[in-house]
Structure 1
Amino acid sequence: MDASDLLRNSLLQLSKQENIRDFVEKTPVSRSVVKRFVPGAQHSDVVAAAGEIAATGRLSTIDYLGEDTADLAQAQQTRDAYLQLITALRDEGLTEGATAEVSLKLSALGQALPGDGNKVALEHAHDICTLADLAGTTVTLDMEDHTTTDQTLEALRELRADFPTVGAVLQTYLHRTEADCRDLAGTGSRVRLCKGAYKEPESVAFQSRSDVDRSYVRCLKILMHGDGYPMIATHDPRLIEIAGALAAQAGRAATSFEYQMLYGIRPEEQKRISDRGDQMRVYIPYGEEWYGYLMRRMAEKPANVMFFLRGLATRG
């Protein structure tokens, strides 16, 4: 295990440390830096950010932060937050043509609740998909740790029966993902391909960055040569170049796939890709539960850590 892998594992551990979270949340300097990655806690904050992104020709997908919901009331509150968000986006004209869509974590909608958690999460997701469909936009189901993969893909199948455009997320650090790509490369299937951001055991996931990258390319080949709609979620210049070459090789039009990057990461590159005629969608998180998200983003790429630390030093 190299130094970057050690750093990644340490940050993933920190994402679960409440005492560290409390310190970061109460430090005004760090909160000001966090705004680079999370535009705010309220609907108005993220709608404004989505509007600014749309004005530059980019698309967006919005995540109301939260996961591992512990009670039914909290799951209902998350569903209601998404319904309010979609309504606000529609009122601003941002849902037309899926200029702004939403990303859902089923654990935030009640998947982990005892007893009928899967049923509760599916019903809440169905409510959100119904309103999104009426508003003219789409929904993507975020993927979480490997223990929920089968449940999430089953929910995807059920939702697609009524809403065929619901997107899936597949993580290339999992050994199973090539097979999942083959299953989901059919006509009209929207698939976001990412590396993965959870700490997973060696039995189910590649542990080295090079193995994860090689898996990404293998999965990307399957999706690009399939009949679906690949969503290439990466900031890695080499993988972006490979994706473009594979798209050209497969004879894909620019409208038949898209690139995705995180809010606040490589914004100039995002604009460059959009300006050259390719589709670029920005993943925008918002809400109070930003700490775990931030730690996982830093774990994904050491450069993100350096940006955060430089920001603290500059603003301090």
Structure 2
Amino acid sequence: MLRTVVLAASGDPHVRRLVSTSPVTHAVVNRFVAGEDVLAGVSVAGRICDAGLRVSLDVLGEDTTDRQRAHESAATYRDLLRALADAGLTPATEVSVKLSSFGQAFDPPLARELALGVCQAARDAGTCVTVDMEDHTTTDATLTAVAELRREFDETGAVVQAYLRRTEADCRDLAVAGGRVRLCKGAYAEPLSVAYSRRAEVDASYARCLAILMAGRGYPMVATHDPALVELAARLAGAVAGSGADLIALDPGHARRPFEYQMLFGVRPGEQRRLAGAGEVVRVYVPCGREWYAYLMRRLAERPANLLFFLRALRSSR
């Protein structure tokens, strides 16, 4: 219920104006967003890589409505990738893109063309791209675009959302050799006809999808902060290894199929460091850019602790 209320309120222009202009908001945003430009994102990525973790950088700015903005968004990603390569942060740092920032809503061919250019820039920089998923109305178009991108750039990653009822089938299709698949719970307001709403249902769907990906031939990217699901991923990886699948040696006598954890910048950083210190591959999803409002609201809606953190900050600023 809390999640639904926050996501619904985020679409209210009065709420947007209140949150965007509050003196305390930017201090809170700093917990979840690396900064408002590419250089800030590169700087934060450097600190995270120095700590032994990997990074996926996202330049915020979804739902582009004109061609100029779409081209500008793609150019920003190309600049970011050059900066990452110059800083020696690839391949440990990849980038995440939303096709709506490249004009998917009004010109799908343009979005694919710009995405191809970003994938080429990523390859030139020694890294790769993961294509983020957005609301359910874009799922088919996004997966089609990913399939087209992978014909030329087979390292391109896909994202699926466990709260959608269709995702188990999508996982079966995507769990192929070389397929990089990020599994997250999902953070958009969706109708019950297409998405699970109860936490227990979403968690159960996540577990089923994770089992499919772990048993497949691709590379699972386990995007969760849930301790139970973190533990489940490790168990499933070990069970698959025991069945004779491809293995990765973590230490003598300990082998599992390869996968990585992914967690959000600003959420459970201690757990991120603990997992990395234990030898796990951990990638931190780091957003940067001025268009932070929609991202912030989804983060607040995902976990009551995030919303309480924001409300306490507001109260302490009075």
- Name the TM-score class by shorter chain: over 0.9
> What is the aligned counterpart of 1:99 among 89, 92, 97?
92
Cα distance between partner residues in 1 of 2:76 and 2:149: 20
Partner of 2:244: none
- Could you tell me how far 1:16 is from its partner in structure 2? 1.6
SS across alignment from 2:96 = strand
- Could you tell me how far 1:315 is from its partner in structure 2? 4.9
TM-score (norm 2): 0.94
Contact 1:24/1:31, CA 8 A, preserved across alignment: no
CA deviations 1:89-143 (Å, max 9, x no partner) are 1110111xx2111001001110011xxx110100000000001001110100000
> What is the aligned counterpart of 1:74 among 64, 69, 92?
69
Cα distance between partner residues in 2 of 1:221 and 1:279: 19
Deviates more, 1:252-261 or 1:7-16: 252-261
Partner of 1:303: 305
Deviates more, 1:210-219 or 1:251-260: 251-260
Contact 1:33/1:312, CA 8 A, preserved across alignment: no
Q: Where in structure 2 are the equivalents of 1:216-255 lying within 5 Å?
A: 216-251=206-241, 252-253=247-248
- Could you tell me how far 1:314 is from its partner in structure 2? 4.1
Q: Where in structure 2 are the equivalents of 1:76-155 lying within 5 Å?
A: 76-95=71-90, 98-113=91-106, 117-155=107-145
CA deviations 1:153-202 (Å, max 9, x no partner) are 11011000010010000001111100100001111100000000111111
Read off the aligned partner of 1:256 and give its amino acid letter.
P
Aligned residues with identical type, % of pairs = 53
- Could you tell me how far 1:310 is from its partner in structure 2? 2.6
Contact 1:60/1:281, CA 8 A, preserved across alignment: yes
Cα distance between partner residues in 2 of 1:310 and 1:49: 25
Cα distance between partner residues in 1 of 2:275 and 2:294: 29
SS across alignment from 2:57 = strand
The answer to whether 1:200 aligns with 2:190 is yes
RMSD, aligned CA: 1.2
- Could you tell me how far 1:312 is from its partner in structure 2? 3.1
Cα distance between partner residues in 1 of 2:93 and 2:314: 31
Read off the aligned partner of 1:179 and give its amino acid letter.
A
Partner of 1:292: 294
Contact 2:161/2:167, CA 8 A, preserved across alignment: yes
Contact 2:237/2:258, CA 8 A, preserved across alignment: no
Partner of 1:3: none
Partner of 1:23: 18
Contact 1:24/1:30, CA 8 A, preserved across alignment: yes
TM-score (norm 1): 0.94
- Could you tell me how far 1:313 is from its partner in structure 2? 3.5
Which residues of structure 1 form unaligned runs of 5+?
Answer: 1-5
Give aligned pairs, total: 306
SS across alignment from 2:266 = coil
